[in-house]
């Protein structure tokens, strides 16, 4: 899924016809107002993706690395990690590791590191770090609708879209098997 896909879905939900038409036509040249709206929506999409990744559903990456001096340096990873999730040897077995401020210390010559990363600022045509199976573009579009409406001072509509976003996010994040203890009233 690309940023363009998310913005197009959001523009359709908000009935932003010029933006939707501009994003739907490869040969379209938008007017200044449409291009400004697309730029604003692109920035807001990055804001939403950061919120999702850092607070709810981390974007994850797995990389096979050659260990140098018993350490995998954070700077050698392709993305900016904020949490190491696991380290495996090349056979898929868990490896004991310790964290330092600059990397991960391990005792194997090659390791596969799995980590959550901070998303980069995506451009309009960039593919985001989520797949449609992990999180739907519709869910991200709901949050984008809410953020956009706040910027244009349509607060009551923003609350509605934020509610849709949080309800669908709860369905995705909260385990399906959660149960509450039965309560007795005396």
Sequential DSSP letters for the chain: -BHHHHHHHHHHHHT-HHHHHHHH-TT----HHHHHHHHHHHHHHHHHHHHIIIIIS-EEEEEEEE-BTTEEEGGGSSSEEEEEEEEE-TTS-B---EE-SSEEE-SSSEEEEEEEEEPP---TTPBPS--TTTS-HHHHHHHHHHHHHHHTT-HHHHHHHHHHHHHHHHHHHS-TT--PPP----
- Is beta strand 110-118 parallel, antiparallel or unpaired with respect to 80-88? antiparallel
Whether the predicted pLDDT of 128 surpasses 90: yes
Percent of the chain with pLDDT over 70: 94
| Mean pLDDT of all residues belonging to the chain | 91
DSSP secondary-structure letter at 119?
A: P
* pLDDT for res 95: 94
Q: Report residue 185's pLDDT band, with 50, 70 and 90 as the boundaries.
A: low
Percent of the chain with pLDDT over 90: 83
Q: Report residue 179's pLDDT band, with 50, 70 and 90 as the boundaries.
A: low
* pLDDT for res 137: 93
Q: Report residue 31's pLDDT band, with 50, 70 and 90 as the boundaries.
A: confident
Whether the predicted pLDDT of 117 surpasses 80: yes
User: Global pTM?
Assistant: 0.85
Q: Report residue 178's pLDDT band, with 50, 70 and 90 as the boundaries.
A: low
CA–CA distance, 19 with 36 (Å, rounded to integer): 10
CA–CA distance, 75 with 101 (Å, rounded to integer): 11
* pLDDT for res 111: 96
């Amino acid at each position: 899924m690309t940023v363009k896909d998310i913005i197009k879905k959001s523009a359709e939900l908000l009935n932003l016809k010029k933006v939707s038409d501009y994003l739907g036509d490869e040969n379209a040249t938008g007017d200044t107002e449409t291009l400004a709206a697309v730029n604003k929506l692109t920035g807001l999409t990055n804001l939403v993706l950061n919120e999702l990744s850092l607070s709810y559903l981390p974007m994850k990456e797995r990389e096979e690395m050659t260990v140098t001096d018993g350490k995998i340096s954070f700077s050698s990873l392709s993305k900016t990690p904020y949490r190491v999730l696991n380290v495996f040897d090349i056979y898929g077995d868990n490896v004991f590791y310790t964290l330092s401020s600059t990397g991960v210390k391990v005792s194997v010559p090659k390791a596969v590191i799995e980590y959550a990363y901070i998303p980069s600022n995506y451009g309009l045509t960039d593919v985001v770090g989520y797949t449609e199976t992990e999180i739907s573009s519709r869910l991200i579009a709901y949050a984008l609708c809410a953020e956009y409406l706040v910027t244009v001072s349509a607060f009551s509509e923003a609350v509605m879209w934020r509610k849709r976003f949080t309800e669908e996010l709860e369905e995705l994040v909260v385990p399906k098997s959660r149960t509450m203890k039965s309560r007795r009233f005396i």
